[in-house]
Amino acid sequence: MATVINGKEHAQQLRDNLAIEVSKLKSDHALVPGLAVVLVGEDPASQIYVRNKAKQTVEVGMKSFEHRLDTDTDEVTLLDLIASLNADDAVHGILVQLPLPPHIDEFKVINAVSHDKDVDGFHLMNVGRLNTDGGGVVPCTPLGSLMMLKSQLGDLTGLNAVIVGRSNIVGKPMAALLLKANCTVTIAHSRTKNLEELCRTADILVAAVGRPRMIQGDWIKPGATVIDVGINRIEENGATKLVGDVDYLSASEVAGAITPVPGGVGPMTIACLLHNTVQQAKRIAG
Ligand code: GUN
């Protein structure tokens, strides 16, 4: 049976370390890192994420600023708010919760956030840095996934990594990170041929497709490390359940190590958001 990679424990450890860094910033530089989260609309999943983010921000000793705007807020109003947060010295990190309502241009909004305060790592400057020489902000979900992989496997050099999913938020930045870590990287997607066979070549398999339990145990190389990024809400036996993109029961009989859903990648994503905010605050403190 696979080792369970406990994301809650990893996240707790990261937050404990962050709390120490935050208290040093307070005592040595009189600086309290601040994270502003902007939510447009009423999407229930987004509301839960935003609440969790705010709670954990405060728990590590940071300041949390929440801005909730109506679904019909126009783009100019949102861009004005971002401009004021860019100029606010108490704010070191800005996150605009995605998805945005369809009448708002997501690309424009993401790139309106100052790249120095872009704790999502979605701004073009940070995407460019990740794909060149580094030094920018790394997106939270791939960063958390990489931390758990390194903790589980140590040096990743020479390992075959297959990422299923090519999103800007997870698939592409995950590929860049694993390439930097000297893996041989393949990005698979909905048009990939022989997906099952390809997955069976992976020493590291990252599932980020958003399709419940798509990846089965017999797609997995024995002993492989599986990172399940999926968070899918399904109805089963009359109850609502959260499941990943990997069929956990069959996969955990074959894999060497696997992240569960819930309790795997999810908690690490939020902890990495706090990590990115503290990094930005430390850069300002010098
Ligand atoms: N929506 C789902 N995941 C994310 C994320 O990592 N950042 C933002 N801003 N929105 C999201």
Looking at the DSSP bridge assignments, the partners of residue 68 are 39
Atom of ligand 1 lying closest to residue 120 CA: 7
pLDDT of residue 165: 98
Are the CB atoms for 195 and 188 separated by under 8 Å?
yes
- The span from the CA of 89 to the CA of 34, in Å, is 9
3-state secondary structure of 190: coil
pLDDT of residue 134: 87
pLDDT of residue 286: 83
Catalytic residue among 56, 97, 152, 280: 97
Average pLDDT over residues 214-242: 97
Tokens (6 digits) for 190: 């909905």
pLDDT of residue 285: 87
Atom of ligand 1 lying closest to residue 140 CA: 6
120 is a catalytic site residue: yes
pLDDT of residue 45: 87
Are the CB atoms for 68 and 24 separated by under 8 Å?
no
Average pLDDT over residues 223-242: 96
Q: What percent of the chain has pLDDT over 70?
A: 100
Are the CB atoms for 259 and 15 separated by under 8 Å?
no
165 is in an annotated binding site: yes
Tokens (6 digits) for 93: 């990190």
Whether 284 has a pLDDT exceeding 90, the answer reads no
Whether 174 has a pLDDT exceeding 90, the answer reads yes
Looking at every residue in the chain, the average pLDDT score rounds to: 97
Q: Which of 39, 82, 98 to mutate to test the pocket of ligand 1 (most atoms within 8 A of CB)?
A: 98
Catalytic residue among 56, 116, 117, 120: 120
How much distance in Å is there from the Cα of 95 to the middle of ligand 1?
A: 8
**Domains, the chain:** 30-114 (3.40.50.10860), 140-266 (3.40.50.720)
Are the CB atoms for 152 and 204 separated by under 8 Å?
no
Tokens (6 digits) for 21: 């860094």
Looking at the DSSP bridge assignments, the partners of residue 36 are 65, 94
Question: DSSP assignment of 9-21, as one string?
Answer: HHHHHHHHHHHHH
Of residues 164, 195, 163, the one with CA closest to residue 178: 163
Which residues have C-beta within 8 Å of that of residue 276, sequence separation ≥ 6? 93, 119, 120, 121, 137, 138, 140, 143
pLDDT of residue 44: 87
- Which residues form the pocket of ligand 1, taking CB atoms under 6 Å from any ligand atom? 95-98, 120, 140-141, 169
Q: Which helix (H) or strand (E) holds 37?
A: strand 34-40
pLDDT digits (tens, 9 = 90+) for 97-126: 999 999 999 999 999 999 999 999 999 999
136 is in an annotated binding site: no
- The span from the CA of 236 to the CA of 228, in Å, is 20
Cis peptide before 262 (omega within 30 of 0): yes
Which residues have C-beta within 8 Å of that of residue 254, sequence separation ≥ 6? 2, 217, 218, 220, 221, 222, 224
Tokens (6 digits) for 195: 């997906």
pLDDT of residue 82: 99
231 is in an annotated binding site: yes
53 is a catalytic site residue: yes
pLDDT digits (tens, 9 = 90+) for 228-237: 999 999 999 9
Looking at the DSSP bridge assignments, the partners of residue 215 are 246
Looking at the DSSP bridge assignments, the partners of residue 93 are 35
pLDDT digits (tens, 9 = 90+) for 132-173: 988 999 999 999 999 999 999 999 999 999 999 999 999 999
Tell me the H-state helices in 87-167: 106-112, 124-130, 140-153
Residue 275 binned pLDDT confidence (cut-offs 50, 70, 90): very high
